[in-house]
Amino acid sequence: MNRNVNVDRDVHVYHGNRVHAGRYAWPHGYAYGRRAVGYVEAAEAHAGSDKPLRLDAARAAARRWEDTATQFEARLDKATLTPTATRAVNERLLQVERALVEPQGLRGRPFIRHLLVAPQPSYRSAYLPRIWDALDRNDRGAIPAHEAEIVAAFDRAAGILREATGLLGTQAPASGG
């Protein structure tokens, strides 16, 4: 099944710089979960080798999300959905992205609310920006609470994706000849 085209023309999903009608809201594939593992590793590397940082709980949660996303992709490849089911799946996929946003922004930059990646003032990317910023401020005491937020967000994303996977059992009626 081509995930980029379906019969539901009522769904408008923002992706990149364009708005697509009638497409799944899953632009990242399960690589998004895999990238989350890489973001954890990037934040650990940002801590430096003199004071290593291990974000084991965040890494485990990112892997759970990746596993759930892999299952979703496998089911999606075999699914033929009704327009109503497509809309319901798309709603869940949008909720996955929303699960990665916190209402309170970064300290000093309240408009930056995404938990995975954020631009630095230099426009360089910061991965797991709350942890990245805590490292930059030399505030390691804040990291456990930020890691807990990330774990909760990854687990929310995985839970919503499991709901979407469950919806993939909704099949379009076979056309009779």
pLDDT of residue 10: 34
User: Residues 6-25: what's their mean pLDDT?
Assistant: 36
- Strand pairing report for 117-119 and 125-127: antiparallel
12: nearest Cα among 94, 113, 98: 94
Burial letters 87-124, b for 16+ CB under 10 A, else e = ebbbebbbbbbebbebeebbeeeeebebbbbbeeeeee
Look up the pTM and report it: 0.78
Classify residue 145 by burial, with Cβ atoms within 10 Å: 0-12, 13-18, 19+. exposed
Length, in residues, of the chain = 177
CATH number of 12-167: 1.20.930.40
* Cα–Cα distance measured from residue 13 to residue 94, given in angstroms and rounded to the nearest whole number: 8
Query: Which segment, 20-24, 34-38, 99-103, is predicted with the most confidence on average?
Result: 99-103
